Amino acid sequence: MTAGAAAVAAGPALAFLGAGGTLVGHGVAALLPRGPAATLGARAAAFLREAGANAVLAGALPFAPDADDFLVQPRRLAPAAPEAAPVAAPMRWRLRHQPDAAGYAAAVRKALHIMDAEAGQPGGLAKIVLARSLLATADRAIDPMALLRRLATDPAATGFLVPLPAAEGGAARWLAGATPELLVEKRGARIRSHPLAGSAARQADAAADAAAASALSRSDKDRREHAIVADCILDTLAPFCRSLSAPQGTTLMRTHSMWHLGTAIEGELKDPDLSAAALAALLHPTPAVCGLPRARAARLIGEIEPMDRGFYAGAVGWCDAAGDGAWHVAIRCAEISGASARLYAGAGIVPGSDPVAEAAETGAKYGALLAALGIALDESRA
């Protein structure tokens, strides 16, 4: 076993828990040689040929396509989800925003100014997704698997826990979350994707919640934001597909904390040997987490955001020796190491976006993680 594999082998299992199925792995048999998204399909295929017909690779792609991924071969696959952890005593937390809501709104205004200046220009910025972060530090170590079990209670999301490269000093790191967004799933020649873009916070009052959903479904700004994402995925997949469609069009989807606009896409590959890992690398990052044009948006994200996204807004998933698998957009997640959890949340910015409303949206998107960590939403307001 490599030194990198040893760093995560003793930790909790990696796991994906959702409506699409359960995959739980214990220990680490080997690491996939690390590299950028452009080489993932070839590296994964070569690794799985050597590893055997029953082998599985699972892990995370970083936000930046040219940065190194982190995928592992579990030593053992478990037939079912791990048992629920006992309820622990409440933790005490210290919270630090990066940036706070006012700083995030200022970043949105900067992006809107750039869009306005480039309007009508070839290659001008049409959409950018800006994120912010919340560092939560507890009075004792966080149990990643217990956190996953609490996150996985939302039937509209896929709970996930995957190892990341060790932190400075060798401490184990994990990416834990509950993502509602399917990047791509492959079974034989059949593929599915379910992009989300355009969001509104759920409301406790039933009438107010219905009004929020109705307003989202009628929002011109949100529908334009969503169309950018869905069209990009359809255009990217079309050359590889014998058939490809979105039979239900754009519909509303709800999680415990958010309403989303979503488009369910399904198709049949021309080449059924094209793997789920290769398809994920082709699609990532979509305009749902980056923007359009992609290269322009990615450069501006690096200039405007005050933190490195790392594996946030990347992709998490798995691929087997037959090339089948499922990959999800790494949103509604936190990086866990020891007693710290770094939460991330982002919002899509297009002409017509309201900086204050976008800041509130990112705050609402922390909701699932805050609830799972036992932090009241009101405590995190900033």
Active site residues: 127, 181
Amino acid at the residue 226: H
Residue 63's alpha-carbon distances to 30, 116, 357, 360, in angstroms, are 23, 26, 25, 23
Question: CB-side exposure of 74: number of CA atoms within 13 Å?
Answer: 24
Cα–Cα distances in Å, from 246 out to 26, 179, 230? 37, 21, 9
What DSSP assignment string belongs to 64-126? STTS--EEEEEEEEESSPPPPPPPPPPPPEEEEEES-HHHHHHHHHHHHHHHHHHTTSTT---
Rounded to the nearest angstrom, the gap between the alpha carbon of residue 10 and the centroid of all alpha carbons in its chain is 25
CA distance 141 to 207: 40
Neighbour-count burial for 69-104, b at 16+ CB within 10 Å, e otherwise:
bbbbbbeeeeeebbeeeeeeeebebeeebbbbbeeb
Q: How far apart are CA 378 and CA 367, in angstroms?
A: 10
Q: In angstroms, how far is CA 121 from the centroid of its own chain? A: 31
